[in-house]
Structure 1
Amino acid sequence: MPDDLLRFVIGPTPYSGWWLWLAVLLILLVIGWYAAVFVWTLPAERLRRLPLVGSWHARLLRRRFARTIDNVAERHRRGDLPAPDAAALISRTLRSFLHQATGTPAQYMHVEAIASGALAPAAPVFEALNDAQFNASSPVDVAQTGSAAEELVRTWP
């Protein structure tokens, strides 16, 4: 009798049980997609505070900005970019990295302010880049300074 009542309430099941699992899988995929978009669009300062995502975000930042600096230095080595332009691009990239990695507005800071604060390890690189950018007779090798900037990004705490 209970089986007959169940069939009366539910009715015959003309579909396979795999449809239920497919529906559950699709719902989980949509939830995962929304979670990924939410995390991807978080501000950098909130990402740094998340336990697992923060370390992943830091590695991704280091790799992305180091690759950008390497590309600029390579373009300079090939002769596509003159030294002042390459130094300006490397400086802008390094300042953007420091802002994303630490939250300090490095884009707006003078080298002296960088040297006296938490970003002090980057000050010698910025001094060399400024010399290469603004001094026409600068002895600074931009490719070597670019390598130093790339190493700074890769080893930033």
Structure 2
Amino acid sequence: MPGAELVDPIPYAGWWPWVALGIVLVVVAWYVWVVRSTRAPAQAPPATLPATQTNRPHARAQSDPYAALRGTTLARLDEVERRYRAQEIDVRGVNLEMRWALREFATGRTGVDTTAMTAETARLDRRTRPLASLLENSSLPAFASTSRTRVGRTLDQARKLVRAW
């Protein structure tokens, strides 16, 4: 290549580093915005009641760490029965809602996620074994188009499980 003259590369414009810095700052600001907008604001601690206004739980509630969970589940089962008596839901709906309430109770009671657990899987784990028979007994009424299951008996069995477990 005789006669060809070598030319130095052309330098980039001086404003490109500022564009790169701007892009980095926008990305960092976006991350900060996402983190701040998806976190709940800090809550003020609840005000304490004077000693004269506090409710004193009975002895069983003090010795049973699951008393609140037990009470909530029993109230949900009572609500399911009330809705069935008012003909708002049918036998299938009763069994589906009862299964959901029992699964939530079992999850809170054992720490094992039971939301998609089958009766067979529940029977294999010693922590969820008490739930297995009710899941099995309510399986057919929950998924069949018709059933001859007695709702009162099923709900009584569920309440008995919640009280005893």
Alpha-carbon distance in structure 2 between the residues aligned to 1:98 and 1:131 = 20
Q: 1:136 aligns with which of 133, 137, 145?
A: 145
Q: Please state if 1:71 is matched with 2:91.
A: no
Bigger RCO of structures 1 and 2 (CA < 8 A, at least 6 apart): 1
Alpha-carbon distance in structure 1 between the residues aligned to 2:150 and 2:70 = 23
Alpha-carbon distance in structure 1 between the residues aligned to 2:114 and 2:63 = 21
Q: 1:148 Cα shift?
A: 0.9
Instruction: Summarize the alignment of residues 1-157 of structure 1 with structure 2, pairs less than 5 Å apart.
Output: 33=47, 55=63, 57-118=65-126, 119-156=128-165
Q: Is the 8 A contact 1:76 1:143 kept in 2?
A: no
- Going from structure 1 to structure 2, the CA distance change for 1:150 and 1:68 (only over 3 Å counts) comes to same
Structure 1 counterpart of 2:152, one-letter code: A
Q: 1:77 Cα shift?
A: 2.6
> Which runs of no fewer than 5 residues in structure 1 stay unpaired?
1-29, 35-52
Aligned pairs, number:
109
Q: Is the 8 A contact 2:122 2:131 kept in 1?
A: yes
Structure (1/2) with the larger helix percentage: 1
Q: 1:135 Cα shift?
A: 1.5
Structure 1 counterpart of 2:122, one-letter code: I
Q: 1:57 Cα shift?
A: 3.8
Alpha-carbon distance in structure 1 between the residues aligned to 2:77 and 2:142 = 15
Instruction: State which structure, 1 or 2, has the greater radius of gyration over its C-alpha atoms.
Output: 2
The percent identity for this pair of structures is: 24
Deviations 1:41-69 (A, max 9, x none): xxxxxxxxxxxx98454111111111111
- List structure 1 runs of 4+ shifted beyond 3 angstroms: 30-34, 53-57
Question: TM-score, normalised on structure 1?
Answer: 0.61
